[in-house]
Structure 1
Amino acid sequence: MITLWLFILIGAVIAFFWFGRQIAEAAQQHAVGQAEKLNVQLLSVACVKRRLAVLSNGRLGIKSQFAFEFSSDQQSAYTGTMHLENLRLKKMDIPPHRMG
């Protein structure tokens, strides 16, 4: 019986990691799209926070926060944040920046 619970736990950890990678790829795509819309250069995307939570639709899922850096004039960098629920972008905060 202990072996069964161990396999279930290992499977859950692997599934969480796998889905986390899908979320990171979705965040990268959202950041690239926003950079193209703003006509800025995307520098990096990094996960700040990821947790299991109840989503706005009432279901259990993963809430994530990502930071992305971009440059509008190739001299200064700005950091924005993205809030995702599973693969869906819920909110994006973009700081004031120079238009170059």
Structure 2
Amino acid sequence: MENIYYLLIVGLVFWYFIHLRKISEYARNHINHYCNTESLQFISLARKSSRIRFSKQHGPHWMSIFEFEFSGDGESSYLGEMQLRGYKVDNVNMPPYKIN
């Protein structure tokens, strides 16, 4: 009977990593699209945190925060932050940056 519990735990850990990878792919697609529409150069993306949140408005959902590096002039780089609620963009914060 305990083998079933081990398999369940391994399956849940495996699902968790696959789910986080899927969220990261959605974040990369959203940031690439955002940078293309704003005429920015996308440099890198890193996950800052991911956790489950509960709210009355949205119910239980994954809240993920990503930091991304971008450039407006091709010489300097800046750090922005994007929040995802599930697979949808909730908020994008960017510092002032130089443009060409």
Name the structure 1 match of 2:58. Answer: 57
Paired residues, number? 99
Taking structure 1 as the reference length, what is the TM-score of the superposition?
Answer: 0.91
Taking structure 2 as the reference length, what is the TM-score of the superposition?
Answer: 0.91
**2:89 matched to 1:75?**
no
Aligned equivalents of 1:69, 1:87: Cα separation in 2 = 20
**2:25 matched to 1:44?**
no
2:68 alignment partner, SS class = strand
Structure 1 residue runs of 4 or more that deviate by more than 6 Å after TM superposition: none
Aligned equivalents of 2:9, 2:52: Cα separation in 1 = 15
5+ residue gaps, structure 2, are: none
5+ residue gaps, structure 1, are: none
Aligned equivalents of 2:21, 2:31: Cα separation in 1 = 15
How far apart are residue 54 of structure 1 and its match? 2.1
Give, as a single letter, the amino acid of the residue that structure 2 aligns with 1:58.
G
Aligned equivalents of 2:52, 2:10: Cα separation in 1 = 17
